[in-house]
């Protein structure tokens, strides 16, 4: 891996990381550029995918991705987390080979029944499958209860035998996936698949610690045990041949070699971003470059929370300077913002925050009287 010829500072890397917030003219352009937008069902004040796209697409409104999904070049899939990808990217992820899931082991005939029903009807809502097959609720991996047919549809989706056609009130409606069936017959070469995925992750999350990129690559196993060796080799090759590197404060960072890294100009403005945004996804990078440890505490007992249920990092210029908890109550946006020690409460900061909250109101469809 070629090292950057000049000594770099955290400020250089913070400025380079902000390139991910570059404006995009449309949802499709954002998907094509990022190639993966992580999803999450929590909606406080909006789902993760909407928060990510709102940060990049002017005029984006919560729910726009779901509303326009059917006409976009977009698929729901895993890379390595659940989210949205263009079909070209999905072709790098399939075919998958997975061990029998719990639903298959405990209800061995269910997957075939759901598979047949999906082919027969062409599209299938989980409630329709439940009504047709009479399968009740079963224990899920977290100890809770979920629909057996929903879990069967999820398994078929992960295997590439089904695709998400659209969502109805957030619930996935499935259909057959003939484009993925074709990949099972004629898959892309393994080396090509993993090379593309390693490059995608470096572009999406870079610059990031080399160890963090290795972790991400390892998670993207395609469900294919035999690709683990190929993934490791592709990662090592990328680090050696296609990534630039530098040690900053003793921590080695990597990023795509074609990125230009000049003396950073000071960014301006205030931004509030989602907890799954590429800008803050790698908590190791955030702590090193910004000097504090941010955590998502949605699954932390309330008494043990430091940041709040769904805290959103706040950036002032290129620095992460605090976090905001946003919620909608009685049609109004409520905000609780916590600043890090030492952040000066200036008129410019207050003006920036007011402008960002106004943008969030428009994003959420809330309008002040």
Question: Is residue 275 situated within a structural domain?
Answer: yes
Whole-number pLDDT of residue 302: 95
Q: Of the candidates 118, 149, 184, which is a domain's last residue? A: 184
Contacts of residue 264, defined as CB under 8 A and 6 or more positions apart, other chains included, come to 11, 12, 14, 15, 16, 318
Domain that holds residue 117: 102-184
Residue carrying structure tokens 């992820």: 93
Question: Is residue 192 situated within a structural domain?
Answer: no
CA distance 178 to 164: 12
Question: Is residue 313 situated within a structural domain?
Answer: yes
Number of domains in the chain: 2
Question: Is residue 173 situated within a structural domain?
Answer: yes
pLDDT-flagged residues of the chain (< 70)? 1-5, 135-146, 221-227, 262-267, 368-369
Question: Is residue 199 situated within a structural domain?
Answer: no
Whole-number pLDDT of residue 4: 65
CATH number at residue 113: 1.10.10.10
Question: Is residue 159 situated within a structural domain?
Answer: yes
Full 3-state SS string of the chain: CCECCCCCCHHHHHHHHHHHHCCECCHHHHHHHHCCEECCCCCCCCCHHHHHHHCCECCCCCCHHHHHHHHCCCEEEECCCEEEECHHHHHHHCCCCCCCCHHHHHCCCHHHHHHHHHHHHCCECHHHHHHHHCCCEEECCCCCEEEHHHHHHHHHHHHCCEEEEEEECCEEEEEECHHHHHHHHCCCCHHHHHHHHHHHHHHHHCCEEHHHHHHHHHHCCCCCCCHHHHHHHHHHHHHHHCEEEEEECCEEEEEECCCCCCCCCCCCCEEECCCCCCCCCCHHHHHHHHCCCCCCCCCCCHHHCCCCCCCEEEEECCEEEEEEEEEEECCEEEEEEEECCCCCCCHHHHHHHHHHHHHHHHHHCCCCC
Whole-number pLDDT of residue 330: 92
With a threshold of 0.75, does the pTM exceed it? Answer: yes
Question: Is residue 160 situated within a structural domain?
Answer: yes
Q: Of the candidates 138, 162, 184, which is a domain's last residue? A: 184
Question: Is residue 22 situated within a structural domain?
Answer: no
Q: Of the candidates 161, 184, 207, which is a domain's last residue? A: 184
């Amino acid at each position: 891996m070629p090292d950057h010829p000049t000594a770099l500072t955290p400020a250089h890397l913070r400025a380079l990381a902000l390139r991910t917030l570059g404006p995009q003219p449309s949802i499709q352009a954002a998907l094509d550029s990022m190639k993966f937008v992580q999803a999450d069902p929590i909606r406080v004040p909006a789902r993760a995918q909407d928060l990510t796209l709102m940060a990049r697409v002017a005029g984006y409104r919560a729910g726009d991705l779901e509303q326009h999904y059917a006409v976009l070049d977009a698929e729901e899939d895993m890379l390595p987390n659940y989210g949205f990808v263009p079909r070209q990217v999905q072709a790098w992820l399939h075919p998958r080979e997975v061990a029998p899931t719990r639903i298959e082991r405990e209800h061995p005939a269910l997957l075939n029944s759901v598979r047949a029903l999906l082919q027969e009807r062409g599209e299938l809502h989980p409630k329709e499958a439940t009504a047709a097959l009479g399968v009740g609720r079963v224990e899920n991996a977290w100890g809770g209860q979920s629909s057996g047919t929903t879990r069967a549809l999820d398994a078929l989706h992960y295997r590439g035998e089904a695709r998400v056609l659209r969502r109805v009130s957030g619930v996935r409606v499935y259909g057959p996936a003939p484009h993925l069936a074709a990949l099972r017959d004629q898959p892309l070469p393994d080396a090509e698949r993993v090379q593309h995925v390693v490059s995608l992750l470096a572009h999406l999350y870079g610059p990031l610690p080399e160890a963090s990129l290795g972790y991400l690559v390892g998670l993207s196993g395609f469900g294919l045990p035999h690709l683990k060796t190929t993934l490791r080799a592709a990662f090592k090759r990328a680090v050696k041949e296609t990534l630039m590197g530098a040690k900053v404060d003793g921590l080695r960072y990597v990023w795509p070699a074609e990125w230009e890294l000049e003396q950073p100009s000071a960014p301006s403005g205030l931004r509030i971003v989602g907890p799954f945004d590429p800008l803050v996804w790698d908590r190791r990078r955030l702590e090193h470059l910004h000097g504090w440890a941010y955590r998502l505490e949605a699954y932390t007992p309330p008494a043990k929370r430091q940041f709040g249920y769904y805290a959103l990092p706040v950036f002032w210029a290129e620095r992460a300077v605090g976090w905001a908890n946003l919620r909608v109550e009685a049609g109004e946006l409520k905000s609780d913002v916590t600043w890090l020690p030492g952040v000066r409460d200036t008129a410019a900061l207050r003006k920036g925050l007011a402008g960002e909250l106004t943008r969030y109101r428009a994003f959420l469809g809330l309008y002040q009287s």
